[in-house]
Copies of this chain bind each other. A is one copy, B any other.
Amino acid sequence: MITVEDATAQVLSRISVLKPERVPLLAALGRVLAEDVISDIDVAPFDNSAMDGYALRHADVEGATEQAAVRLAVIEHIPAGVQPQKMVGAGQASRIMTGAPVPVGADAVVRVERTRPCEGQGGPGGSVQILTSAKLGENIRGRGEEVKAGDAVLLIGEVVGPAAVGLAASVGHADLAVHRRPRVAIVSTGDELVDVRQKPGPGQIRNSNSYSLAAQVVDAGGEPHVLGVARDTEESTRALLGRAGEFDLMVTTGGVSVGDFDVVKKVLEEIGELDFWRVAMRPGAPQAFGTIGGTPFFGLPGNPTSTMVGFELFVRPAMLKMAGFTSLFRPRVNATLTHDVSKKVDRRYFLRARLVPSGDGTYSVAAADNQSSALLTAMHRGNCLLSLPEGESFIPAGSTVMCIRLDMGEGTA
């Protein structure tokens, strides 16, 4: 049996980054840039006002205060989107709106709250009292202050968040080249499986894994394709596993444990290549990985929790690598164990657990009472996987243990 670390390394060494595609801005959200995003303009494109107020010469208002206001003649009104027509001379000001171009001659803007209108309500032909001094350039956003035409505003490999979407839009990109979302085929195996809408008969069980896996795929930024249930025959299994080439990744559940009804392994050895099929871990030692005609293949165990944990540890990082991410693992945090744990010495354990902040930046963690791998309840109520290493058989309460945070995304510091 291979260790979790070796298995992870082996999986990732087999995974290539998917080709980029060009998609509309909003569809790029959450994905990884496949090219630098270059500005076609200066931002700001012109010197403009950061405030509603009056554009003026700062020398004219030196020493101005509420008590010693300076009166200026208002020569123009400049709304946003309109080019100024008049030069501001000494003793003059133009009323200016936020975002409007600063007129020639003016070198500062005083916000309207620090002014008092006189004749003509402070509009053109009238006058205004300025109640404060202004620094050179105050409330003026300079042309090219953010970006100059030709500058890269977003870099290849960066993740597109809402601010990146806005940045790209402001520099003329209605679409972006990003890495493709992995298309993931999901196959459940087993004669005992019935659809969620059916009431299971004796010995039968609902096919819940294809739903939880599809949700995990969506959560990891992929596109799930549920292909259905492979029955326990080589024909049925071959028919579904043979479709791997249509997808970026195939995940099966069940059919990879030791028993002789386990045809998945047999078919996989026939039409694909098997890298490993057991990992020294619990839950879910039967964790197969290989390729079918070049498509990476994950054979996860059939117990619901084992399936989810296997997906977390192996499939999710693989999907993230495919999608161009460089941060592939969820944050890990140390915590104080609140109770004793006994375990098998030769396995890495991943207990469904709940991490609680102690208030001083440290954490305590308690495993769920029921760790049965058939139960998703503990997985649902927990917020982490408590990882207990090989080589230990008893971990006493108070020990410092490592937890994988399931409530946080990769790359969170």
Contact = CB atoms under 8 A, between A and B. Distances in A.
A376 interface: yes
A10 interface: no
Most buried by B among A141, A165, A174: A165
Interface residues of A, number: 103
A268 B371 CA distance: 57
Contacts of A174: 196-197
Contacts of A401: none
Contacts of A212: 162-163, 165-166, 169
A16 interface: no
Contact of A372 (B113, B146, B173, B196): B146
A44 B372 CA distance: 11
Nearest to A307: B166
A147 B377 contact: yes
A297 B141 CA distance: 29
Contact of A81 (B79, B191, B362): B191
A145 B407 CA distance: 27
A270 to B, nearest CB: 21
A259 B98 contact: yes
Contacts of A100: 192, 203
Q: Shortest 3 CB-CB distances between A and B: which pairs?
A: A81-B192, A166-B212, A361-B361
Given A162-B219, A407-B409, 11 more contacts: A29-B219, A40-B199, A45-B200, A79-B192, A98-B257, A112-B258, A158-B380, A161-B380, A166-B304, A172-B197, A361-B361
